[in-house]
Structure 1
Amino acid sequence: MSALPTTTACYQLRITELQLQIQSLLEQMRVGCCTPLEVERIGCQIQPLYAAIWAMHAETDA
């Protein structure tokens, strides 16, 4: 049985959306005076966004 094709056409738009979310979170850190707890919280939000971006890149580069 052959594998189903992976649809990656929507990835560029999704990657752009995720990058904008990351930029927004980084802007929050830059503009505001963040406590270490807030920096950790923002870092925890950024990590899955980066992971999603790299997963999509990996699928398109394969």
Structure 2
Amino acid sequence: MDAAKAEQKRDFPDWNIVHSSEDRWWAFFAPDRRKSRPDVKDVDLDANTAAGLRAKLMAAVS
């Protein structure tokens, strides 16, 4: 696992982070967490970069 993915997983443990071989990034909010975290605005996110995904994750959980 690359360092950027490990960092995302550490900082956003309720999310499943996917980094594809085509260099796209996705995050999926864990289904078992949805009822306990109604404040989360989006349950699936995508971005072209790790930094872009981080920005979307931060917005989704704030």
| TM-score, shorter chain, exceeding 0.5 | no
- TM-score scaled to structure 2, two decimals? 0.26
Q: Which has the higher strand share?
A: 2
Of structures 1 and 2, the one scoring higher in RCO (CA 8 A, sep 6+) is 1
Larger radius of gyration: 1
Q: Which has the higher helix share?
A: 1
- TM-score scaled to structure 1, two decimals? 0.26
